[in-house]
Every structure is written in C-alpha cells, then in structure tokens.
Amino acid sequence: MRRFLVAGNWKMHGSLEMTAELISGISRSVLEMASLSEQRELAYDILVCPPAVYLQHAVSAAQSQPVAIGAQNVNAHDSGAYTGEIALPMLAELGCDYVLLGHSERRELFLETDVQIADKFAACVAEPQRITPVLCVGETLDERKQGATEQVVGRQLDAVLNQVGIQQMKNAVIAYEPVWAIGTGETASPEQAQEVHAFIRARLAEHDAEIAASMRILYGGSVKADNAELLFAQPDIDGGLIGGAALKVESFVGICRAAQKLASQA
C-alpha cells in the first residue's frame, strides 16, 4: 500500500525563526494527533522544502522529528563554474532527503526545459546521491482549454522516462500541479485531479505495471485543510504538494489530519 506524503513547498518565504517554529509546531501537532489514533503512530510521511539558505537550519530542527527536509531546486552538475547554483552533493551533505524538480514556476519564470529537468532527475537517481526527486508536471489554463492536458503531461513524463528509463523511476515521487490552480484560489475538482493522476499512472504502467502501482503521485493545486480529504480519497492521489497552506502550522496540520484519517481507514 502506498503511504500518503504531505509535502510543503515554502517557495521564497521564511526566516530562521519561522523555520524552527514551523517544523517544531508541525512535529508536535502530528505526533499528538497520531497518539490519539488507533494506530498510535504516523501512518503517512511529511516533507517540508524551505528556501536553500534555511536548509541546514531545517535539517537541524528536524532531527528526531517526523519531518523530512527537501530542497526546491538543484543543478544537474556535481560541481563547476555555475554561480548561484547548488549541487546534489551539497544537499546530500546537509542531510536533505528530497528535491523538487520542474516546478511550474521553474518552468515558466526561469524557462527550465523538459531536457534540463530530465538532466536533474538523472543526476538525482545516479549513485551515490540517493536524494529522492519529486518530479512536477502539469498544464496551463490555455493548455487545458485546448484539451492538451494529457499531451503536455505525457511529454513532461516522457522526457524523463526517455532519459533514465522506468527502473530509475521506482524511488521517485511525481506531483501533478495544474498551473491554473496554483495561487489562484482555483482547485481542480477531485474528479478532475483523479483523471490526470490515473493518466500518469497508466502512462508509467505502459513501461512497468509494478512500478506504476507503487509510485506516489501527489496533487499540487491549492490543497487546503477543507478539501484535502476529498482529494486524498481518490484512488490515484497519494498526498499533496502544498504551497500557501504549508506556511502555517494549523493549516498544514489540517491537511496532515486528512492523510492520517484516510490512512487509518485503509
């Protein structure tokens, strides 16, 4: 059975104080919540991705806590003359467990291409890094209106599959983020989200059914405490990549509550 993953992308928000308070507040709340459940333990995973300058502080704050730490981006090269960039060995040395790749803002604002994202993914799955890539895919509003959702998402997936092969996908996470539902207040209905998640899983199954069945696919489009349970209850949605709601303990824990509830019912 796939474990839910509730992942917070802090984007360019935060401070040293906020990093410590968020991680400690989330940890305390979810552990208390788990202790009151029948399982008496966390039945899902938690990830937070702070800005790069706070990663070391976050890793320190998360020691002995049920929170994994991830970066928001990485360079495909291990070292070199790439001013302002961060390499995978640096993230690994800090103690990062995950890294986001191909977020819609990286694609749109920083013009990252499918090929560049595939190169980063290939670096993540190569030995000896062992940092789990979270591959973000999704369509814009215009692309959805044109009926091109599957074409766009399929292209983004295929860029990685063609470079690394399906076997290298087995330890990765995919996040479907409809660009039109990020920061707009709009949210895909559970049925709309499920449809694309099912497409992603079917696309992977064309290469390997077992890997497709075990792949965690997150939904990343304005997930909040009041819609998380309906979204996570869909058969192919395995958690969320959370933006604004990840910046406050109460709202993020509310989403975790949905994961805990559904996991305990499984």
Which pLDDT score, from 0 to 100, does residue 102 have? Answer: 97
Which pLDDT score, from 0 to 100, does residue 129 have? Answer: 67
Which pLDDT score, from 0 to 100, does residue 159 have? Answer: 98
Which pLDDT score, from 0 to 100, does residue 185 have? Answer: 63
Which pLDDT score, from 0 to 100, does residue 41 have? Answer: 81
Which pLDDT score, from 0 to 100, does residue 184 have? Answer: 67
Contact 132, 171 (CB under 8 A): yes
Q: Would you state the torsion angle of the CA atoms of residues 238, 153, 214, 49, taken in this order, to the nearest 10 degrees?
A: -50
SS3 (DSSP) at 92: helix
pTM over cut 0.75: yes
- Residue 171 dihedral angles phi and psi, to the nearest 5°: -105, 10
- Mean pLDDT per 10-residue segment, the chain (266 residues): 96 98 97 81 95 98 97 97 97 97 96 98 86 96 92 98 96 94 76 97 98 97 93 98 96 97 88
Which pLDDT score, from 0 to 100, does residue 15 have? Answer: 98
Q: Where in the sequence numbering do the catalytic residues fall?
A: 103, 177
* Cα 247 from Cα 105, distance rounded (Å): 18
Architecture of the domain defined by 5-265: Alpha-Beta Barrel (3.20)
